[in-house]
Structure 1
Amino acid sequence: MKLLGVSGTIIGAKTSIVVQKVLEEAKKYQPDLEVELLDLREYEVQFCDGRNPSDYNDDTKKVLEIIHSADFYIIGTPIFQGSLSGPLKNLFDLINPKDLRNKIMGFIATGGTYQHYLVIENQLKPIAGFFRAFVAPGYVYVNNDHFNRDNEIIDTDVLNRITSLASEVVFMQKALKSTENQLTSVF
């Protein structure tokens, strides 16, 4: 099983730090789990304009292949102007919906105010619904106050939510695979 963490921003480090922490916790629950962090800061993903995916630059094609190869996801975004980041929205626009259909997603978000957690409920979960993905019931919202000056997460409640999200997505993925295997053996 491959869990892909997506840090959906091209600036800042906090989102990537939280996504990485969830991946580390998931690995504790499932030691043989393959984890990978897709940090959009490391790629030059082109703007989605409707062309054939094979016509995009190499970075864009590589990112789409990484998305396609994963079994389940932790997707993170900073909140800008009360919304998900532009780079993450662009990535969603580029993804073939078949690549996320019936896959598990967990969400994290980082932001400067305590009200921005609503972006997960009001924007990210509906996007997952469009893709027909299964969404972990819990999520993690991390405010700037939850980090110290070295960008380390210092809030105990946030750390507990990170652990809970990791266990939820691993549990859901194992249950989904078990159900798929049972159905395959019957039919």
Structure 2
Amino acid sequence: MTITRGTCVCCSIISETSTRYARSVSSSTAKPCLPVGRSLHGNFRLHRANHSQISPAKRCILSSRFIKQNSTMPHFTLIQGSLRKDSRTALLIDATADILQKNNVETSVIDLRSIDMQFCDARKIEEYNSDIQKAYDILKQSDAYMFGMPVYCYSVSGPLKNFIDITSGAMSKKIAGILCNSGGVRSFLAAADLMKILSFESNVTTVQPIVHAYADDFQSGQIFNEDILKRIEKLALAMLHDL
């Protein structure tokens, strides 16, 4: 297990390495200064802010919760719902994880490309494989969720819907944000399907604004449109405010 500026507490499947997507994000009030670290532990990733390396004056304070409860960081879980190898949705999730960590938020990433996914058939959660059970436990322990949603046929991708069908019980009465990625600019309303699924199945409240990106926002395997990063940060602030 390899850990950089953090300690993984998620699971123990098979250690692997990954190249992190890095991008600087500007802020009108303060410069987030937390170095980005990533630990990979099997098929789940965890980002953790290291408060001991940063002076309180330099920390980016996003809400009164951090001022009053500096020792308690919220835990967000990001779900990457695309199975595509060179997924643009995965770029959104990577950028979101970096932004959250820079703002002192503990962040786990569940990438559906990396777990052994089974079909939902209404069995008990204990009867699914270890990957599914570990993902369920991570979701249950989280304070909030951010879904990376690729748009397929103007709706939620099949793998993401299947994952939610299995794990929805872990997310009851919490909040979520949506990062919607589509091929064309007119497909942003597809995110409404995910909002309804989360609301009716798990009583999950979707926080606005929804972040929508499409093909022209990316170039050479990176996020080209800087406004996307600003929208992600705006969503993160709104979610932290609602916790």
The normalised TM-score by structure 1 is 0.84
Bigger relative contact order (CA 8 A; separation at least 6): 1
Structure 2 residue aligned with 1:142:
213
Q: Percent same amino acid at aligned positions?
A: 28
Structure 2 residue aligned with 1:5:
78
Contact 1:23 1:166 in 2 (8 A): no
2:101 equivalent to 1:27: yes
Cα distance in structure 2, aligned partners of 1:96 and 1:138? 22
Cα distance in structure 2, aligned partners of 1:59 and 1:100? 17
Contact 1:79 1:110 in 2 (8 A): yes
1:87 Cα deviation after fit:
0.8
Structure 2 residue aligned with 1:161:
231
1:95 Cα deviation after fit:
1.6
1:166 Cα deviation after fit:
1.5
Q: RMSD across aligned C-alpha pairs, in angstroms? A: 1.4
Could you tell me which runs of 5 or more consecutive residues in structure 2 were left unpaired when the two chains were aligned.
1-73
Contact 1:3 1:23 in 2 (8 A): no
**Structure 1 counterpart of 2:231, which letter?**
R
Q: Which structure's CA Rg is the greater one?
A: 2
Could you tell me which runs of 5 or more consecutive residues in structure 1 were left unpaired when the two chains were aligned.
174-187
The normalised TM-score by structure 2 is 0.66
| Structure whose residues are more often helix by fraction | 1
Contact 2:155 2:190 in 1 (8 A): yes
**Structure 1 counterpart of 2:167, which letter?**
I
Contact 1:22 1:165 in 2 (8 A): no
Deviations 1:32-82 (A, max 9, x none): x21111111110110000111111122222222222221101111111111
2:90 aligned to which of 8, 12, 16: 16
2:161 aligned to which of 85, 89, 94: 89
Contact 1:26 1:167 in 2 (8 A): no
